Structure formats: structure tokens, C-alpha cells
Structure 1
């Protein structure tokens, strides 16, 4: 099978052009510093809770020696070597991402594995023939794309009958932080009303969206609560501070309200009472 690489131009962001990392994930190649996205993914992937969830999701692929698997939205290739170790040298691993910067990085990292192919393409129109893969996955991709159902349909199309489809994503609306009553309203606006990606509640919707596809059966759901008591961790990897700044830029709260909110949670961090939680979901199934 020969991969037909799609010569795409990166589409515009599916959400308003806001001052946060999340709004630019579909437009990485046009950003001032594509490397910051690669560095972010690398650092986030080192977190124990993300590692544990990714291990679960890749096990759900039920891969065996010699099989063919694809990672859609593979980014800089953080999971490709793990997939290769599961199918071994006689198997085939494909990674696809819409960002050429990500793809070039992944190619470089996987250059020592001849059975790993990385290419640029659009998840809504995967340039692979029908019924090719034994398993396919995507992780934290659907929150960014214009049409998640179309991506799921494409993943199903290129998977063999009996093959596995595994999708992981977060529910940003599930975010909670420990806060006093005095800033509850400001906090609610920051966590629930800021626009920063196309589908912030996609995680909780995954099972329903997979159920809607008539070609997927044996659907299983796994949920995990991500948590940290470090404000720095919440800022760096879960974009808490960015969401507060975006609330100001989107006119949802005033600068004074933001400062009050920020000072309060920084004080909680000093006192040791800060807690952040958010839910992540993996939904898996088999193609009929």
C-alpha cells in the first residue's frame, strides 16, 4: 500500500483567535514558534497520569505481532515507538498530523524504525484505502477539529472489520479548582465560559459520538480524573492561567476580577490548599 500524501494548506483555527495556546493547535505551522508546541507535548507526555492513561488506551488497541496500526494526529510522534514495540518489526505503524513541523519532528525521531511511516494529512480525509488497518487511535485530537464525527467516520473507514478504534480526549468543562465562595462567580466564568477550542466538552461526548456510528460495536468507556495540587502544573499543562487571561481578552471579566482570582489561587498555593481536577476519557470499540 502506498500512502498518498495530501498537499494541504493548514486550515484556519476553528475557534476565535484568542491569546491562548489551545486556539492555535490547528495552525501550528503559521505560529511564531512551532517548537513551543512540540516542547509542550513532550513535557505533558512525561506526566505520570498522562503516561498511565496512554498505556491504557494503547492496550485497548489489542495489537499483535505483524499488524498495521495508525495514530491520527500523532504530533511529534510521542506514541509511535510504543506502537511499533507492540507490532514489532514485521508490523506497520503510520502516524499522520496536519502540521508539517510536527511531522518533520516525528520523522526525525522515528528514523531508526523503518516500519514507521509519518506523513502530513487531514484527519477528516485520511489518504489511506478502505479496510487497511488492524487498529487506529487518536488522542486529544477531536477537541480541535471542525467535525469530530467526520474524523471518527474516517477512522472507521480505514479500519478492517473486527479492527479496533480507540479515541481519547478531555472534558474541559469538568475542570474544578478549590476556591472560596468570594470568587465562585469569577471562577465559573473562567472555567466554563471562555472559548479556547472547537469542542471543549468532547471528552464526555465521546461515547455518544461513537455510538452514533453504526459500524462501531462493543463500545467501552474508561474515565480518569487528572489532578494536581501544584498551581504551576495547572498553569503549564492544563492552561489554567491562560484561561483566566482569555476571560479578560474576551470581555467576560474585568482585569480587576482576574487579578482578584489570580491572587486568591496563588495564596491558596502558598497555604497548601490548592487543588485542580479535570476528567479525561478513552472510548474504544470494534468495527463490525
Structure 2
């Protein structure tokens, strides 16, 4: 199975899940889910959010998670079994642009950090809307990778790397800033948005978030930067980290809408 650009493994998702804990909670509350509801997580990964949602809807409800990667589905099913919620939490392999559910099946639907990987995000949002009941809520949280910025003396190199990552290493690196427009064009009602600033003074964490090892290798291979430029950028970042002045920030956007 071919994975999309920017594909990450379960370990990465677990680490980012801890970093984004409060934002995840915000997506759950935005869904307005309650006991007995049927809810869907699109791009469920290893089941971090389906397990959390299972506590909200309870055993009288139902949680489904879908992911393109069969390996993620295996992990998520094991997770549900371990947590004792597999009776009402199920996971399926599926393409987000063609969801295997009846129209109007779910009370609410969410997706987090999936749209950045999609070639046709409008089609996925249409499917998420289709499977949601009239009056139900659709929630999407995603990153605007183009807004990532790091304090460095090597500004030109930093900008080259950021643009390369956003435009070439992801299918839809500007996904966060596009969500409001997508929701409005989808015809969802009561569309609202929240912008969440994220920052770190930890160089190692920053490298993990962006997968700098892979980015640097690809940037050199595609002649985006030279070996000398990479060394200069790394040296500057390492020095800032050693001096306790490293700083990087970005933003994620949460958009919510109601099916009419």
C-alpha cells in the first residue's frame, strides 16, 4: 500500500498526541458528543482519539475510526481491546474520500492532522459531511505548515527548508489555512474557527515535529540547500539550544461546522 507524502509512524503520532493533548480535548468538546452518540474519527491512526471518544459516548454509543493504513488499523484494534472498549469501538481500513458508511449515520465527525496529507481535501470533507446527521457537527483540526517559523541567524536557509517541506514533502501543507474556505464552500452552517499558537524552546522536539532528519536528506538530494548551508543552519540551531535561546513556533486551525 502506497503511503501519502508526509506519512508518519505510530510512534510519531503517540509523541505528538502528548504534545497536542489540550487541542485534542478541544476537538472532542467541539463535536458536542454525548453518551449514546455515534461518532467517527477520520484518519484515526493508532486509536488515540477513538479511545478518548469511547469514554465520552460510553457503552451505549458507538465509535468508528478509519485509516488508509492497515497497520494503523491493527494497532488501533489492539488498543481498543487493551482498554476494554472494543465492544463499542471499531476501526476500518478505508479511503477518506469514500467512507464506508450510510448517509447521516453519525452524530458528529472529526479529523485531525489528516488534511495535510490529502490530494483532494474537499472530497474528504464532503464525505465527512455526508455521513453526519442533519444538525450534526463536523470538526477538523490541521496545521498551517507555511506558518512555521524558527528564530535563526540563517533566515534564508530556514525559509528554503520551510517552503520545501510545506510545498513538496506534504500533499497539502497549507491545509490549516484552507479549512474555513472548505467548510463554507461545503455549505456547512454555523462555521466557526479557532487558531492555536504552538511553540517550543526544545530543539530536539522541534526536529521531531518536522521530521528534520528526513527533511534535511530530501532537501540536499533535491538541491534545495547545500551541505554547507545545512551545516551552518544546524550549527546555529545547536548553538541557540545550548545557550537556552532556541525558539520555534507555528499554528494549528480548528474549524467546526453543522450539517444543514
Give TM class, smaller chain.
over 0.9
1:103 to 73, 82, 87: 73
2:155 to 184, 205, 225: 184
Distance 2:159 2:12 in 1: 26
Q: Would you say the 8 A contact 1:136–1:155 is kept in 2?
A: yes
Task: List runs of 5+ in structure 2 lacking aligned partners.
Answer: none
Q: Would you say the 8 A contact 1:191–1:243 is kept in 2?
A: no
Normalised to the residue count of structure 1, the TM-score between the two structures is 0.86
What is the match of residue 151 of structure 1?
124
What is the match of residue 192 of structure 2?
220
Q: Is 2:199 aligned against 1:210? A: no
What is the match of residue 265 of structure 1?
237
Cα deviation for residue 264 of structure 1 reads 0.9
Normalised to the residue count of structure 2, the TM-score between the two structures is 0.94
Deviations 1:92-118 (A, max 9, x none): 100111111100110011022111111
Q: Is 2:73 aligned against 1:94? A: no
Cα deviation for residue 132 of structure 1 reads 0.6
Let me know the Cα RMSD of the aligned residues: 1.3
Q: Would you say the 8 A contact 2:47–2:65 is kept in 1?
A: yes
Q: Would you say the 8 A contact 2:150–2:247 is kept in 1?
A: yes
Cα deviation for residue 81 of structure 1 reads 1.6
Task: List runs of 5+ in structure 1 lacking aligned partners.
Answer: 1-9, 16-21, 26-36
User: SS at 1:131's partner residue?
Assistant: coil
Cα deviation for residue 248 of structure 1 reads 1.3
Cα deviation for residue 243 of structure 1 reads 2.7
Distance 1:39 1:63 in 2: 28
User: SS at 1:64's partner residue?
Assistant: coil
Cα deviation for residue 185 of structure 1 reads 1.2
Q: Would you say the 8 A contact 1:72–1:123 is kept in 2?
A: yes
1:42 to 6, 11, 14: 14
Q: Is 2:94 aligned against 1:117? A: no
Cα deviation for residue 11 of structure 1 reads 4.3
1:69 to 20, 33, 39: 39
Distance 2:59 2:53 in 1: 11
Distance 2:201 2:130 in 1: 42
User: SS at 2:225's partner residue?
Assistant: coil
Q: Provide runs of 4+ in structure 1 moved above 2 Å.
A: 10-13, 237-246
Deviations 1:50-95 (A, max 9, x none): 0011101110000111110000110100011211111111001001
Q: Is 2:147 aligned against 1:193? A: no
Give aligned pairs, total.
255
Please state which structure has a larger fraction of its residues in helix: 2
Change (3 A) 1:87 1:12: closer
Deviations 1:1-30 (A, max 9, x none): xxxxxxxxx3463x5xxxxxx2x35xxxxx
Deviations 1:225-267 (A, max 9, x none): 1110010010112334543332212211111111111111111
What is the match of residue 78 of structure 1?
48
What is the match of residue 7 of structure 1?
none
Distance 1:259 1:278 in 2: 24
